[in-house]
């Protein structure tokens, strides 16, 4: 579904992604793990068109999408839940969801899909007319995911959905991610919480200083000594 080939991204003089190559197959959950500043967010932002690639290809359904503007990439079926959630704080929960469907024109189906999101996250329904800024961290993450689902993505990019959340809520969020995947959406998950990510993903890539260091089945990486030491706390 998605194949990245020799991708290089720079921020001015900083070489943030160095010849990255990776693949996401249809139906999978693929996770990209790495420590602070390793290039995870940059990878997702480049896929969704927010950053420009210097060289390399991003093939999505066999089409190179490098250079297409972000607002058009959503329409092709890639939806990105950004790091830090980035919900629209002074807009209501419902308005946030409506904006999630901005790229669509099928009004009736949008209504149905919003209803589905409310079924997935009942708490959002209760708070539908409150400003999004008043939600708790976990609820904001749910809203960010719900909003992203409303563009009806085939591929969902998630950037650290567990960031800043209590363990109980993290578990809940990962269950939701699993559910979304089971209903047919392919997922690329960026995480610092390596354990949770590996427990839930099919395959994984480990990124360090802008390079892919290691890749493999999530299960295998869970038991890999190097990974244990560096990312799973020994």
Ligand X SMILES: Nc1ncnc2c1ncn2[C@@H]1O[C@H](COP(=O)(O)OP(=O)(O)OP(=O)(O)O)[C@@H](O)[C@H]1O
* Cα-Cα-Cα-Cα dihedral sign, residues 80, 85, 29, 228: positive
37 near ligand X (CB under 6 A)? yes
46 near ligand X (CB under 6 A)? no
Could you say which residues in the range 140-169 bind other proteins, by CB under 8 A?
A: 140, 147-148, 151, 164
11 near ligand X (CB under 6 A)? yes
52 near ligand X (CB under 6 A)? no
- Out of 16, 32, 43, 49, name the contact with other proteins by CB under 8 A: 49
Site string for Mg ion, 42-81 (x = CB under 5 A): ----------------------------------------
- Residue 93 interacting entry, from Mg ion, ligand X, other proteins, none, C-beta within 5 to 8 Å by type: none
Strands ordered across the beta sheet of 78-81: 78-81, 155-159, 186-191, 29-33, 203-208, 211-217
Distance (Å, whole) CA 76 – CA 15: 28
Distance (Å, whole) CA 157 – CA 155: 7
Can you tell me whether residue 211 is helix, strand or coil? strand
What is the distance, to the nearest Å, from the Cα of residue 115 to the centroid of all Cα atoms in its chain? 22
Contact between residue 49 and residue 72 where contact means Cβ atoms under 8 Å apart? yes
Choose between 25 and 209: whose C-beta lies nearer to ligand X: 209
Binding site for Mg ion (CB under 5 A): 41, 83
């Amino acid at each position: 579904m998605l194949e990245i080939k020799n991708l290089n991204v720079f921020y001015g003089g900083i070489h943030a992604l160095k010849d990255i190559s990776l693949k996401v197959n249809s139906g999978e959950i693929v996770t990209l793990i790495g420590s602070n500043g390793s290039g995870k967010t940059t990878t997702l932002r480049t896929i969704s068109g927010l950053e420009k690639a210097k060289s390399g290809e991003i093939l999505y359904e066999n089409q190179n999408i490098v250079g297409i503007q972000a607002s058009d990439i959503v329409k092709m079926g890639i939806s990105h839940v950004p790091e830090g959630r980035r919900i629209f704080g002074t807009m209501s929960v419902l308005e946030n969801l409506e904006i999630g469907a901005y790229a669509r024109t099928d009004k009736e189906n949008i209504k149905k899909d919003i209803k589905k999101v409310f079924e997935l996250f009942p708490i959002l329904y209760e708070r539908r007319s409150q400003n999004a800024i008043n939600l708790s961290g976990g609820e904001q993450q749910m809203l960010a995911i719900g909003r992203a689902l409303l563009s009806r993505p085939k591929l969902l990019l998630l950037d650290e959905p567990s960031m800043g959340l209590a363990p109980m809520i993290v578990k809940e969020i990962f269950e939701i991610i699993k559910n979304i995947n089971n209903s047919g959406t392919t997922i690329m998950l960026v995480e610092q919480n390596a354990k949770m990510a590996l427990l839930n993903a099919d395959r994984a890539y480990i990124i360090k200083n802008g390079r892919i260091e290691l890749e493999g089945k999530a299960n295998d990486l869970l038991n890999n000594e190097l990974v244990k030491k560096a990312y799973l706390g020994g």
